[in-house]
Structure 1
Amino acid sequence: MLGSLACTAALFASVVCGVGVHPGQIKHLVTFGDSYTDVVSTGDQGVAWPAYAAGYAHVALHPFARSGATCSNNLTFRPFPPVFESQIPLFVTEKANGSLKLPADETIYTLWIGTNDLGVSALLTGSDPGVSLVDVTECMVNWVKVLYENGARNFIFQNMIPLELTILYAADSYPNRYWAFERNTTEWSIIMQEMTRSGNKLTKLMLQALAPTLPGAHIALFDSHSLFQDMFDHPARYLNGTAPLNVTGAWNACVTTIGGTALECTIFNGTDRDSFLWADELHPSEQADRIVAREIALTLEGKKSQWATWLS
Structure 2
Amino acid sequence: MQFLALALLAASVVVVADTENEGHHGGTKPWVKDFKNLVAFGDSYTDESRLNYFYAHNGSAPPPGLLLPENNFTSGGGFTWDRWVSNYTGAKLYNYAVSGAVCDNNIIYRYLSYIHGPFPDVVYEVDAFKADIAYINASTGTNTLYTDRKADNTVYSMWIGTNDLGDSAFMTDSQVNHTTIPDYIDCIYDRFDSIYAAGGRYFVLMNTAPLELSPLYGLPEDGGLSTSRYWPNKTSSGGNVTEISYKMKEYTQLVNTVFDYRTPYELLVAKRYPGASIAVFDTNAFLSDVYYHPDKYLTAPANVTGAYWVCNDASACTASAVGLDHYLWYDDLHPSEKTDEAIAHEFVSVVTGTSKFATYW
Normalised by the size of structure 1, how large is the TM-score?
Answer: 0.87
Q: Tell me which of 164, 171, 182 is aligned to 1:117.
A: 164
- Superimposed CA distance per residue, residues 247-304 of structure 1 (whole angstroms, 9 cap, x where no aligned partner): 1101002235xxx8xx6544125x711111100000001111101000111222x241
Alpha-carbon distance in structure 1 between the residues aligned to 2:252 and 2:170: 11
Distance 1:272 1:310, change over 3 A: same
Distance 1:153 1:184, change over 3 A: same
> 1:100 aligned to 2:146?
yes
Count how many residue pairs are aligned between Structure 1 and Structure 2.
292
Alpha-carbon distance in structure 2 between the residues aligned to 1:264 and 1:95: 43
Deviation of the 1:141 alpha carbon:
2.3
Paired residue secondary structure (1:209): helix
Alpha-carbon distance in structure 2 between the residues aligned to 1:218 and 1:229: 26
Alpha-carbon distance in structure 2 between the residues aligned to 1:15 and 1:276: 42
> 1:268 aligned to 2:320?
yes
- In the alignment, structure 1 segments of 5+ residues that lack a partner are 1-9
Paired residue secondary structure (1:180): coil
Q: Contact (CA 8 Å) 2:281, 2:359: kept in 1 or not?
A: yes
- Superimposed CA distance per residue, residues 35-90 of structure 1 (whole angstroms, 9 cap, x where no aligned partner): 00002262202011111011112211111111010000011112211001x11111
> 1:29 aligned to 2:38?
yes
Q: Contact (CA 8 Å) 1:27, 1:60: kept in 2 or not?
A: yes
Aligned equivalent of 2:281:
222
- Superimposed CA distance per residue, residues 127-155 of structure 1 (whole angstroms, 9 cap, x where no aligned partner): 11522111111112222222111111111
> 1:90 aligned to 2:128?
yes
Structure 2 matches for 1:158-307, cutoff 5 A? 158-172=206-220, 173-181=225-233, 182=236, 183-212=239-268, 213=271, 214-240=273-299, 244-256=301-313, 265-268=317-320, 272-300=323-351, 302-307=352-357
Q: Contact (CA 8 Å) 1:141, 1:203: kept in 2 or not?
A: no
Aligned equivalent of 2:81:
49
Q: Considering only CA atoms, is the larger Rg found in Structure 1 or Structure 2? A: 2
Q: Contact (CA 8 Å) 1:57, 1:298: kept in 2 or not?
A: no
Alpha-carbon distance in structure 1 between the residues aligned to 2:86 and 2:311: 32
Deviation of the 1:22 alpha carbon:
4.2
The percent identity for this pair of structures is 37
What letter corresponds to residue 37 of structure 2 in structure 1?
H
- Superimposed CA distance per residue, residues 129-185 of structure 1 (whole angstroms, 9 cap, x where no aligned partner): 522111111112222222111111111110001111111111222311101112211
Aligned equivalent of 1:58:
90
Alpha-carbon distance in structure 1 between the residues aligned to 2:275 and 2:203: 11
Alpha-carbon distance in structure 2 between the residues aligned to 1:83 and 1:52: 22
Distance 1:73 1:232, change over 3 A: same
> 1:150 aligned to 2:150?
no
Q: Which stretch of the first structure deviates more once superposed, 154-163 or 210-219?
A: 210-219
Normalised by the size of structure 2, how large is the TM-score?
Answer: 0.76
Alpha-carbon distance in structure 2 between the residues aligned to 1:96 and 1:13: 37
Distance 1:310 1:96, change over 3 A: same
How well do the aligned residues superpose, as a CA RMSD in angstroms?
2.1
Of structures 1 and 2, the one with the larger relative CO (CA 8 A, separation 6+) is 1
Alpha-carbon distance in structure 2 between the residues aligned to 1:217 and 1:11: 20
- Superimposed CA distance per residue, residues 163-214 of structure 1 (whole angstroms, 9 cap, x where no aligned partner): 1111111122231110111221111111100000001111222211111212
Q: Contact (CA 8 Å) 1:54, 1:297: kept in 2 or not?
A: no
